[in-house]
Chain A
Amino acid sequence: MEFAWNEADAAFRRELVEFLDRELVGWERSETGLGSAVHSDFSRGFVRRLAERGWLTPHWPEEYGGGGQGAWQHFVLGEEMWKRGEPRGPQYMNVNWVGPSVIKYGTQEQKRRILPPITRGEVFWCQGFSEPEAGTDLAALKTRAVRDGDGYVLTGQKIWTSYANEADHCFLLARTGSAADGRDGISVFLLPLRTPGVEVRRISGFVGDHSFNEVFLTEARVGADCLLGEENKGWEIVRRTLAYERVGAPRYARAALVLDRMAERCRADGLLSDSGVRERFGQARALCEAARVLVYRVIDERAKAKEPSALANQARAAMVQAERAVGDLALDALGGEALVEGALGDAQFRNSLGAGIAAGSYEVQLNLISRLILKLPKE
């Protein structure tokens, strides 16, 4: 047990920070707009510059265009990005779990076709999991994929698909078995969103620009080369994917950034001399820090190539608590100023309403902690 950064990781962070300080001059989208057109346009240019330095997929194996670096360097990258409002845009999904899933389960042909555009930063992927009647209860999904000749025909509807409006491809779950098979009848498809029969519609929402899209699939035909892994074995891939997704985005880093800025504002306004306000700031800071250290614990597991465990659920729950605390404090401490569109804390509060819903609801995290860590019996 020790908590020091090794020299290679520390040097990587220094070099990265220097690059970002130079590269992100004038980048002021640190709080808002992830998934917006403006953000995505910036991201498309920015990730190519990252890719040129090998910093888009540093943790991937070298044979797939990665830098062969460890889980910690990957995480340092994520932390520095989220501290700055995630200038990679939706790209973090590609690099965190779409690519790694293809590396683990894809055919040689799929790897050749799918991975290079990701490592070059040329594409956005989105995640087609939730449906109108299958969100937290994901195994209830109904979108069907029917084998037809040398391909599949996809019919159904996805919803709450973040970034579908900006994405080129979708990591899609569909039912290839019968509904009675539950999680044993689900497969993963790597779906190009330009496929005829695929329609994306925006849903108006107030939690960031990216959160709400619907994806309608009307007899959309894809080749068999779009199936990832074996037919009906998609749940295993999802399980792994979710473990990576849960702590893929170091959201505490953004919450901590917003908290710092709020504290600066409150200090300038004289509000921090109030001991009650200071207490709230200290508590929120502690929640951000607890989330950080629990996430680090998961990265340690990952760096040691252990199987993903329920520690990821603990870390995720802690991140949700941190995001909520900072969001609440924005409204409590900043008064009416926090209500102004784009104001400090405005996006944090609104995003925090979704923090416990995306990537597996807060309650699902608690269920998994109960079952897998505390070993409590099922109902």
Chain B
Amino acid sequence: MDFDPSPTQRALLDALGTLLSRSAGTDRSRELAERGAYDHVLEAVLRRDGFLDLFASEDAGPLEATLAVELIAAELGAVTPVPHLLVLPALGLEQPAGPVVASLDGPAGPVRYGAEATQLLLADGDRCVVAELDPAAAEPVPSAYGYPLARVVPAWHRELAAGTAGTLVNWWRVGASAEAVGMMRRALDLTVAYTKDRTVFRRSLGSFQALQHRLAELSVLVEGARWLVYEAAFNGAPAEASAVAAAHTMTALGRLTRETHQIMGAIGLTTEHDLHLWTLRLQAQRAELGGGQGPRRAAADARWAAAS
């Protein structure tokens, strides 16, 4: 048991942080979002520097890959780190270039980067399917939530072996939760910083206990989600732990979205301010994981097996 990053983990995250400070971040994210584009350059750099191979590498593993997913999301990297860093390696599949999308509960609705995706991972009950996608057939849908969304049209597909649906769902829960945790931490930091700088009634906004307690409760929820995600990743994404981590992440996400925007006030609703870069994208993770109810029911089902 050790809650401090090891020297290797620290070095890895430092290196990734440096890379992302050049190739991702708020400006880059705004520019790509304007065009509705996936960041092929960032994906190539991540691949070149070995960050897509962390899952099965000798001096790293699933936890390190998960930490990387968190950081890429926090830095608004316009790629799909969950499949590339976690799910495809966990399934033992090749990583195609370009975005990979998933649907955890039957046919896919609008998905992130759907217009450029060439591969769909789909769990439908116990079935797990890999489908090739034809980007030309995809139907982009307008959305304010930061990611370019599209409905995808599966072309050719193959079914994976029995039992793989669990692997897909569990790792996707861990990965999307890791993304959410990274984004929630940024949104919370930004809000806390704002309350220190903003003066109202001749006092700093952050000195009001009514707000302090809400921010403190957010920190408890976000930290709880964060460590549950790390622990689940370290243990190889067991069904219960993955669902529990996602369930708690959803609880934190719902509260955080409301509270950060409420506390930030009108400035937080503008596109000029950065808060929405994280809080709107978070809603995509929310939708992807089935909102709060999906993981909560899954957690109950996993723990009390014959529940349903």
Closest to A322 in B: B224
Is the CB–CB distance between A1 and B6 below 8 Å? yes
Given contacts A267-B306, A278-B297, A293-B228, is CB(A376)–CB(B3) below 8 Å?
Answer: no
Contacts of A1 in B (CB 8 A): 2-6, 9, 63, 67, 230, 234
Q: Which residue of chain A lies nearest to B6 when distances are taken between CB atoms in the complex?
A: A1
Cβ contact within 8 Å between B219 and A282:
no
**A272 neighbours in B (Cβ, 8 Å):** 300, 304, 307-308
> What is the minimal beta-carbon distance from B220 to any residue of chain A, in angstroms?
5
B206 proximal to A (CB < 8 A)? yes
Among the listed stretches A166-174, A193-201, A334-342, A366-374, which one makes contact with chain B, having 4 or more residues with CB under 8 Å of it?
A366-374
Contact B228–A296 (Cβ < 8 Å): no
- Are B299 and A363 in touch, CB under 8 angstroms? no
Contacts of A286 in B (CB 8 A): 228, 244-245, 247-248, 251, 296, 299
> Given A293-B231, A294-B224, is A287 in contact with B304 using a C-beta cutoff of 8 Å?
no
Smallest CB-CB separation from A314: which chain B residue? B220
Query: What residues of B have a CB within 8 angstroms of the CB of A314 in the complex?
Result: 219-220, 223
User: Could you tell me if A282 and B243 are in contact, using CB atoms closer than 8 angstroms?
Assistant: yes
Q: Which residues of B contact A285 (CB under 8 A)?
A: 244, 247, 299-300, 303
- Chain A residues with Cβ below 8 Å from B213 are 363, 366-367, 370
* B219 partner residues in chain A, CB cutoff 8 A: 314, 369, 373-374
Interface of B is mostly: helix
Q: Which of A307-360 contact B (CB under 8 A)?
A: 314, 317-318, 321
Q: Could you say which of B206, B247, B293, B295 has the most chain A C-beta atoms within 10 Å of its C-beta?
A: B247
With A267-B307, A376-B196, A379-B208 as contacts: A289 and B248 at CB distance below 8 Å: yes
- Specify which chain A residues have a CB less than 8 angstroms from the CB of B72 in the assembled complex: none
Report if A300 contacts B (CB, 8 A). Answer: yes
Query: With contacts A2-B63, A263-B300, A379-B208 known, is A294 near B227, CB below 8 A?
Result: yes
**B14-35: contact bitstring with A at CB < 8 Å (1 yes, 0 no)?**
0000000000000000000000
Q: Indicate if B235 sits at the interface (CB-CB under 8 A).
A: yes
Given A272-B308, A366-B217, the answer on whether A282 and B209 have CB atoms closer than 8 Å is no
CA distance A365 to B234 in the complex (A): 30
- In the assembled complex, the Cα of A264 lies from the Cα of B195 at a distance in Å of 46
A79 to chain B: closest CB distance in Å? 13
Given contacts A278-B301, A278-B307, contact A300 B216 (CB under 8 A): no
Q: B307 to chain A: which residues have CB within 8 Å?
A: 263, 267, 272-273, 278, 281
In the complex, how many angstroms separate the beta carbon of A13 from the nearest chain B beta carbon?
12
Q: B206 contacts which of A3, A363, A377 (Cβ < 8 Å)?
A: A377
Say which residue of A6, A317, A377, A379 sits within 8 Å of B217 (CB atoms).
A317
A378 within 8 A of B: yes
> With A377-B196, A379-B207 given, is the CB distance from A2 to B251 under 8 Å?
no
1/0 contact trace for B223-246 toward A, CB 8 Å? 111011011001100000101110
- In this assembly, does A283 line the interface, its C-beta being within 8 Å of a C-beta of chain B? yes
* Chain B residues positioned under 8 Å from A363 (CB to CB): 213
Specify which chain A residues have a CB less than 8 angstroms from the CB of B1 in the assembled complex: 2-6, 9, 72, 296, 299-300, 303
Query: B115: CB under 8 A from chain A?
Result: no
Chain B, 260-276, CB within 8 A of any chain A CB: none
Interface check B57, CB cutoff 8 A: no
A293 touches B227 (CB 8 A): yes
Q: What is the chain B residue whose CB lies nearest that of A273?
A: B308
Q: Cα distance A1–B225 when bound, in Å? A: 16
**A2 near B304: Cβ-Cβ < 8 Å:** no
Q: B244 contacts which chain A residues (CB < 8 A)?
A: 282, 285-286, 289
Across the interface, do A379 and B209 meet the contact criterion of CB distance under 8 Å? yes
Q: CA–CA, A134 to B280, complex, Å?
A: 45
User: What's the nearest-Cβ distance from chain A to residue B232, in Å?
Assistant: 9
| 25 residue pairs from A and B, CB less than 8 Å apart | A2-B2, A2-B6, A2-B234, A267-B306, A275-B293, A278-B307, A279-B293, A279-B297, A282-B244, A282-B300, A282-B301, A282-B303, A283-B247, A283-B296, A286-B244, A286-B251, A290-B221, A296-B1, A303-B1, A318-B224, A367-B209, A370-B212, A373-B219, A375-B196, A378-B207
Known pairs A279-B300, A303-B1; list 20 more (Cβ under 8 Å). A1-B230, A2-B1, A2-B2, A4-B1, A275-B308, A278-B297, A279-B296, A279-B297, A281-B307, A282-B244, A282-B297, A282-B300, A290-B224, A293-B227, A294-B227, A300-B2, A317-B216, A369-B216, A376-B207, A376-B212
* Chain A contact residues, CB within 8 Å of chain B: 1-6, 9, 72, 260, 263-264, 267, 272-273, 275, 278-283, 285-287, 289-291, 293-294, 296-297, 299-301, 303-304, 314, 317-318, 321, 363, 365-367, 369-370, 373-379
Which residues from chain B sit less than 8 Å from chain A, CB to CB? 1-6, 9, 63, 67, 192, 195-196, 203-204, 206-209, 212-213, 215-217, 219-221, 223-225, 227-228, 230-231, 234-235, 241, 243-245, 247-248, 251, 292-293, 295-301, 303-304, 306-308
